[in-house]
Amino acid sequence: HTDPEWIRDAAKLEPGELLASTEVAAARRRLVETRIFETVRVDTARDESDATIVTFDLEENPRYSVAYGLRYSRSDDIGAAIDAVDRNAFGRGISLGARALYAQQVASRRRYTEVPRFLESAGDLEFFAEVFDEDFETFAADGFQLGGQATFPLAASLRGRGYLRYRDADEIDRTQISPQEIRQRNPVLGLQLIYDTRLDPLDPRSGLLASLDVSGSSQAFGADVRYLRGSAQLAHYWCAPATPT
């Protein structure tokens, strides 16, 4: 079960302070965003001293899950994948997972973790490590990938994210007349801004989601190539008016 103290910290409602309905909605949203709870209901009531009592009725998602499946493609034949996750390690919302994929031409194993509210702040940390081995008719590669990112709030509904990824692989391009094995090292440093006014990211009915992402690499980081790229997205959610019957 989730640590009650961790839940109170995640909701960020300070006892004794003036309470607005928008703050209650924001607290519910923060609990939904932990992805630990299947349902998050909130109720407010007045006590004898006219203080507002806020009660959250929480139903947790299953803590452990194992997913598996088969896949088929003309280039890769038949493959199998399995994914095991602990979504609430130590009762503090930490996700620990492992993923494996095996096919005739592809094999990969990934381990990952997500640490919400890092050092009791509003920030999140995510890490992953993966080893892979790919062997196609025109291309082959084997190596590893490492990655991490930190997300922190900047203002109301605005978050900043910095991430670092590193890929190290031995690759062979078999379309060349004389294929040779080349080692490719690709560290990527990126920054992202995310503006999100949706009350419920799992089931958005209204609000705006916008993001801007800039990433790049350079020989100064030990990369084999230098580049800079950017991307942006914008999504607006609203409910269509009900059709009278």
CA distance 52 to 211: 36
Size (the chain), residues: 245
Q: Give the whole-number percent of the chain exceeding pLDDT 90.
A: 32
* Secondary structure (3-state) at 219: helix
Residue with tokens 């990112």: 149
The more confident residue out of 205 and 152 is 152
pLDDT digits (tens, 9 = 90+) for 54-73: 888 999 988 898 988 887 77
Mean pLDDT estimate for the chain: 86
pLDDT in tens, 188-209: 999 999 999 887 665 677 889 9
Encode pLDDT of 214-238 as tens digits: 999 998 888 888 999 999 999 998 8
- Three-state secondary-structure class, residue 106: strand
Whether 86 and 64 have beta carbons less than 8 Å apart is answered as yes
Q: Residue 114 has which token pair? A: 């997500």
pTM of the model as a whole: 0.68
Distance CA(82)–CA(171), nearest Å, equals 26
Alpha-helical regions (H) of the chain: 4-11, 21-33
Stretch among 3-17, 81-95, 116-130, 142-156 having the lowest mean pLDDT: 116-130
- Taking only the tens place, the pLDDT of each residue in 80-129 is 989 999 988 888 888 899 999 888 788 899 998 988 766 556 678 899 99
* Terminal C-alpha separation, the chain: 45
Q: What is the mean pLDDT of residues 133-148?
A: 90
Q: Is the Cβ–Cβ distance between 159 and 122 less than 8 Å?
A: no
Coil vs helix vs strand at 118: helix
pLDDT at site 203? 63
CA neighbor of 130 nearest in space, from 145, 143, 149, 140: 145
Side-chain-side CA neighbours of 2 within 13 Å: the count stands at 25
Structure token digits, residue 200: 């419920």
